[in-house]
A = this chain, B = another copy of it.
Amino acid sequence: MEEKNTTHILYGNIVYAVSPEKLVFSEGAYLVCENGKCRGVYDSREDALRTLSAQPEKVPVTDFGDRLIVPGLVDLHLHAPQYAYRGLGMDLELVEWLNTVTFPEEAKYGEITYAAQAYDDFVTDMKQTATTRMCVFGTVHPEATLLLARKLSEAGFGAYVGKVNMDRNAPDSLCEESATASFTATMDYLRKFAFLHSQGRISERVQPIITPRFIPSCTPELMEDLGELATQQNLKVQSHLSESKKEIEWVSELEPDAAFYGDCYAKAGMMGNPVTSVMAHCVWSSPEEIRMIKEGGVFVAHCPQSNTNLASGIAPIRCYLKEGLHLGLGTDIAGGFSRSIFRAMADAIQVSKLYYRLVDQDQKPLTLSEAFYMGTLGGGAFFGKVGTFLDGYDLDAVVLDDSGLDSVFDMDLAKRLERIVYMPESAALCAKYVQGERIL
């Protein structure tokens, strides 16, 4: 990345979260980017220029007029090979859906031409969303998953991309032969990933991540090997945790010695300290599991739409916020059909209202601010200093034209943001930056 691309100033209506409770709204302001990092938001052009070490006359200012500039959105959990059939089989529950729709389709990604076409579609469409960073599941196939990583890199995303591990309870067409075979395939994946990094064919913004599908798919031997690998090579981990009641029962049958579901990951060293991991769902986590998540600094990827579609339930996010857990949002394509993290924000608020009304009236619904936080800074923290416009953060930003949402109603910046969150399809994406680099 050359400096000339990543030192510049963006002008527009700037909104970002600094905490779950606090959004900052700056109308007609200047967002300063130096070498891909935020250097603050200023009301005047002069103040903005003064912060830069570069000569002011050489610093381009891009004027986005009345548009909104918000941090790039972060999708903490999605499955790229499921994109092709999102919105299908929605009358099924998790385990049935995996067996009848998901597994047969994922098996096809052993064929590289099929994967190439499908991942092209996926990346092309994701470019048109406000998402800039994601944690992605591929399939068990190293080659196809490397191809996915390359395509995400070419499109400019920041991403963790995982070759999936599964050595039990999957159809023959998809199941890896043994724990050893699965582990070896992951080593192969990591080696080739490192080679592509060294060749500059995958950018440093795209990294591999250890990805055991979930406990029912992975033997303890495999889990142990993967946990050791993550620890030794300082790799992050992504997986699923306590998504549905049936799944939890299944895990307790498979692993009777584990105290609870999350304990299986803990035994493999994947629940934090030193490994950083992100667990999708946590809909039905027990108090012990929640304590473990908290103590391990584990990220929870809240996927409200998927949890609804698969009739899993509603994760107690108000409780997790009070506990101070690391929280982000995931589309969970294709448990979720939507690729939009704005939609995930709205979904998160909506299901929290139903949780409040139907389950526990002591758990107040999420606010817009909290949902926006989770979809930006909350999830962004998994990637480092990402997800806001405070000094020193990576400059990931999207520019949105909401003029299609104009109406006779008087609207300030807070109202405009609320309408974009609820009706993202009516706001046009005008530009997109990752680490200061314009990728759209």
Contacts and interface: CB of A to CB of B under 8 A. Distances in A.
A66 B363 CA distance: 49
Nearest to A351: B354
Contacts of A105: 409
A308 B90 contact: no
A415 B88 contact: yes
Interface in A80-125: 83-88, 90-91, 105, 114, 117-118, 121
Interface residues of A, number: 48
B353 A311 contact: yes
A88 B350 CA distance: 14
Contact of A117 (B349, B367, B408): B408
Interface string A342-370: 00000001110111111100000101100
Contacts of A91: 349, 365, 367-368
A27 interface: no
Contacts of A356: 311
A308 B350 CA distance: 6
A53 interface: no
Contact of A90 (B90, B337, B338, B368): B368
A312 B357 contact: yes
B311 A90 contact: no
Interface of A: 83-88, 90-91, 105, 114, 117-118, 121, 305, 308-314, 337-338, 349-351, 353-359, 365, 367-368, 405, 407-409, 411, 415, 418-419, 421-423, 425
The 10 closest A-B pairs by CB, nearest first: A87-B422, A425-B425, A311-B353, A84-B407, A87-B419, A84-B409, A85-B409, A337-B422, A118-B408, A308-B350
